[in-house]
Amino acid sequence: MCQRGHHKENKMEEKEKVELLIRMDERIKNIYNRMDKFETLFTNHLAHHEMWEEDIKRQVRWLVGSALTAATGVGAWGMM
């Protein structure tokens, strides 16, 4: 009788181990998928910032060019 009870305990332990491994596998997959999504989100975020910086640089160049054009125009009028 004792051997039979011991056999049932081993079966339960094996079943619990298998269930635990399945749960661990699901959690690992879930974490990996979240990391992958975060990486995509972060990459998109960086691309957005690069576009934003390029846009600001373009606007600053345009404003500086306009200011220089206006300043040289005013200077030319002053020399007349």
DSSP assignment of 24-63 equals HHHHHHHHHHHHHHHHHHHHHHHHHHHHHHHHHHHHHHHH
Task: Write the single-letter amino acid at 54.
Answer: E
The list of the chain residues with pLDDT below 70 reads 1-8, 74-76, 78-80
Task: Give the model's pLDDT for residue 74.
Answer: 66
Between the CA atoms of 53, 59, 63 and 68, what dihedral angle is there, to the nearest 10 degrees? Answer: 80
Task: Give the model's pLDDT for residue 55.
Answer: 93
Q: What angle do CA 34, 35, 41 make, to 5 degrees?
A: 90
Task: Give the model's pLDDT for residue 1.
Answer: 47
Task: Give the model's pLDDT for residue 72.
Answer: 82
The two most distant CA atoms of the chain are separated, in Å, by 118
